[in-house]
Amino acid sequence: MKSKIPFEFVLEELDRIHPRVKPMFGCYAIYSEEKLVLILRQRNDFTDDNGVWLAADREHHASLKKDFPCIRSVRLLGSAESVWQNIPADEEDFEELALKACTLILKGDVRIGKIPKQEKKARKKSNTGD
């Protein structure tokens, strides 16, 4: 039986941009066009990291922290600052903060989202001068 996507209200809020959902490491990655914008996580392990993860380059962390004082790097990824910033599910105003992140995504806020690196495809050099 497939597990239910957590925090479905996020998908409902992003519906008008037709988000794509892909299972990823027991979580759900949310894409807007080519950008990976969020991960939705609700698991029984590393419960401190449950919530909505924002994909954000380090240069944007300080300004996002002003909008989301509770965000922090995802702990299960190690002690170094991560591009993944978590709005923890156990925050008192979690839903409000998650919806605020959705609003920023809908407005095209450049601080949220990353274009994933393309997997290297085996290419044969075909410079035959045809």
The residue extents of the domains of the chain are 8-106
Q: Which residues pair with 114 in a beta bridge?
A: 36
Interatomic CA distance for residues 26 and 42, integer angstroms: 9
Q: Under DSSP, is residue 119 helix (H, G, I), strand (E, B) or coil?
A: coil
pLDDT value for 1: 39
Confidence of residue 27 (pLDDT cuts 50, 70, 90): very high
61-81 confidence digits (pLDDT tens):
999 999 999 999 999 988 888
- Per-residue pLDDT at 2 exceeds 70: no
Q: Tell me the percentage of the chain whose pLDDT exceeds 70.
A: 88
pLDDT value for 79: 87
pTM: 0.87
Instruction: Return the structure tokens found at 24.
Output: 């990823």
Q: Across the chain, what does the average pLDDT equal?
A: 90
Confidence of residue 126 (pLDDT cuts 50, 70, 90): very low
Widest pairwise Cα distance in the chain: 65
- Per-residue pLDDT at 122 exceeds 70: no
DSSP notation for 75-117: GGG-SS--SEEEEETTSTTHHHHHHHHHHHHHTT-TTS-BPPP
Question: Chain centroid to CA 69: how far?
Answer: 17
Contacts with 91 (C-beta within 8 Å, 6 or more apart), sequence order = 51, 70, 97
Interatomic CA distance for residues 39 and 51, integer angstroms: 8
96-118 confidence digits (pLDDT tens):
999 999 999 999 999 999 999 87
Of the candidates 56, 21, 12, the one whose C-alpha atom is nearest the C-alpha of residue 41 is 21
Decide if 65 contacts 73 (C-beta within 8 A).
no
Mean pLDDT to the nearest integer, 14-34: 96
